[in-house]
Amino acid sequence: MKEQLEQIRAAAKQALSGAATGQDVDALRVRFLGKKGELTAILKQMGSLSPAERPAIGQLANEIRADIEQAVAQRMRAMQEKATAHRLQRETVDITMPGKVSPQGCLHPVNLVTEDLIAIFQSMGFDVVDGPEVETEYYNFTALNVPQDHPARDMQDTFFLGDDLLLRSQTSCAQIRTMETRKPPIRVICPGRVFRADEVDATHSPVFHQCEGLVVDKGITMCNLKGVLEQFAREIYGPETKVRFRPSFFPFTEPSVEVDVSCAECGGKGCRVCKDAGWIELLGAGMVHPNVLRACGIDPEVYSGFAFGIGLDRLAITRYKISDIRLLFENDLRFLSQF
Ligand code: DAH
C-alpha cells in the first residue's frame, strides 16, 4: 500500500507538470484527490490493514494528500501568473508612438459670411428667425402682394410640390410669418436656403441662399434703410465702402431699390471683379408695401417698415473672389479647405 501511495504521488506530480491549462490542473485535482479519486480509493482499503500498520500508512496518506494539494495550488498559481504576464504584455501601450491626427474641418464660405452677417445685424438689435423651406403659395407669393399672373408663379421658375405646396423661392416668406406672430417694433433677419428652377451655370444654382431683413415700427423711413445697409456693407467690405440705391421694382415694396456697393477690389475705378462698373450689385430692398402690412393685420397708416433680401452666395463669391458659384455646391475638399 505504501508503494501504491508513492506511485500516486509520483503520477500526480508528473501529470501536473505536464498540465497546460487551469482546467487540466483542476481535472487532475479531481482525478487524484476527489471523492472518487485515486487517493481516496486507496484510503478506502485502510480497513484491511492491521491495526499496527494503520497509523504509519494513514500519516503517509495525509502527507501525500497535502503534497499533491500544494503541487496543485502551485501549478495553478504559476499558470495565473503566466496569464497575467501575457495579458500585461499584450495590453502594453507604447506612449512614444505618434498619435492618430484627425483632419480638422472648416466652415463653408457661405456659412462664414452668414455668421458674420448674423453678428453684424445682431449688433444692430435684429433677432434671427427661421422659416420652413416648404411653403404655401400664400406665404411665398399672395401675402407678399405678388399678382396671380406674375411669371415667378410659373412652374418654370418655382418648384411646385402640389397641394398648394412649393419650395420657397425667396426668404421673403419670413416677413409674413414674422408679422403674423410678432407686433411692432419688429427687427428680424432670416437667413436660409431658397430654390428656383434655374439651369446650373457659373452664376446660377437651383438651390442658393438668401437672408431676409425686416424692420417695422412707427416712423421708419428710407433713411433708416440706407443707414442700416451702409453700416452692414462697411462691416463686410471695409470702412471706405460706398452704397448706392437704384430705383427698381418688387411687388412687396414701394418704393423698391436695388442696392450696389463700391467695388472693394478697385475702390470704384473699375476692374475685373466688378466688370469695370466700379459697383457690385448686393441686394434688393424697399419700403414694405401697405398691402403686405395689411395682409398681416398691421395698419399702414400707423406703421411703416423696410425690407431687404441679400444673396448670400453672391456675398461669399465677392468676398472671397470665387469665380464660379458651382464651387460652393460641389463640396470638393480641395476648395473647401482653403477657408
Ligand atoms: N425676395 C427678393 C428676391 O428674391 C429679394 C428682395 C427684394 C427681398 C426686396 C426684399 C425686398 O425683402 O424688400 O429677389
Nearest-CA residue for atom 6 of ligand 1: 309
pLDDT digits (tens, 9 = 90+) for 218-263: 999 999 999 999 999 999 989 999 999 999 999 999 999 999 999 8
Ligand 1 in reach of 205 Cβ (< 6 A): no
Query: Which pLDDT score is estimated for 45?
Result: 84
Q: Which residues contact 278 (CB under 8 A, 6 or more apart)?
A: 262, 263, 266, 268, 269, 270
Residue 182's pLDDT is 96
- For every residue of the chain, which 3-state class applies, written as one string? CHHHHHHHHHHHHHHHHHCCCHHHHHHHHHHHHCCCCHHHHHHHHHHHCCCCCHHHHHHHHHHHHHHHHHHHHHHHHHHHHHHHHHHHHHCCCCCCCCCCCCCCCCCCHHHHHHHHHHHHHHHCCCEECCCCCEEEHHHHCHHHCCCCCCHHHCCCCCCEEECCEEECCCCCHHHHHHHHHCCCCEEEEEEEEEECCCCCECCECCEEEEEEEEEEECCCCHHHHHHHHHHHHHHHHCCCCCEEEEEEEECCEEEEEEEEEECCCCCCCCCCCCCCCCEEEEEEEEEECHHHHHHCCCCCCCCEEEEEEEEHHHHHHHHHCCCCCCHHHHCCHHHHCCC
Give 96's pLDDT tier (boundaries 50, 70, 90). Answer: very high
135 CB less than 6 Å from ligand 1? no
State pLDDT tens for residues 139-182: 999 999 999 998 888 878 999 998 899 999 999 999 999 999 99
Q: Is 195 in the pocket of ligand 1 (CB under 6 A)?
A: no
27-75 confidence digits (pLDDT tens): 888 888 888 888 888 888 888 888 888 888 888 888 988 889 998 889 9
* Residue 172 Cβ < 6 Å to ligand 1: yes
121 alpha carbon – ligand 1 mean position (Å): 17
Residue 130: pLDDT over 90: yes
Burial of 333 (0-12, 13-18, 19+ CB in 10 A): exposed
How would you label 84-123 residue by residue, b for 16+ Cβ within 10 Å and e otherwise?
A: eeeeeeeeeeeeeeeeeeeeeeeeebbebbbeebeebbee
* Residue 131 exposure: Cα atoms within 13 Å on the Cβ side: 31
Determine the pLDDT at residue 61.
Answer: 86
Closest CA to ligand 1's atom 7: 284
Q: CA distances (Å), 231 to each of 211, 224, 226, in order?
A: 16, 11, 8
Per-residue burial over 278-307, b = 16 or more CB atoms within 10 Å of its CB, e = otherwise: bbbebbbbbbbbbebbebbebeeeebbbbb
Instruction: Output the nine-digit C-alpha cell for 216.
Output: 417695422
Q: What is the pLDDT of residues 282-332, one digit of tens each?
A: 999 999 999 999 999 999 999 999 999 999 999 999 889 898 999 999 999
Distance 308 CA to ligand 1 centre (A): 6
Cβ-contact 128, 122 below 8 angstroms: yes
C-alpha 123 – ligand 1 centre gap (Å): 22
Q: Please tell me the pTM assigned to this model.
A: 0.72
Q: Note the pLDDT of residue 283.
A: 96
Under the banding of pLDDT at 50, 70 and 90, the label for residue 3 is: confident
Protein residue with its CA nearest to atom 4 in ligand 1:
170
Contact 241 CB / ligand 1 (< 6 Å): no
For residue 303, the one-letter residue type is: Y
Instruction: State yes or no: pLDDT of 273 exceeds 80.
Output: no
Residue % of the chain over a pLDDT of 70: 100
Please give the residue that has the higher pLDDT: either 10 or 114: 114
Q: Any idea which residue has 459670411 for its cell?
A: 113
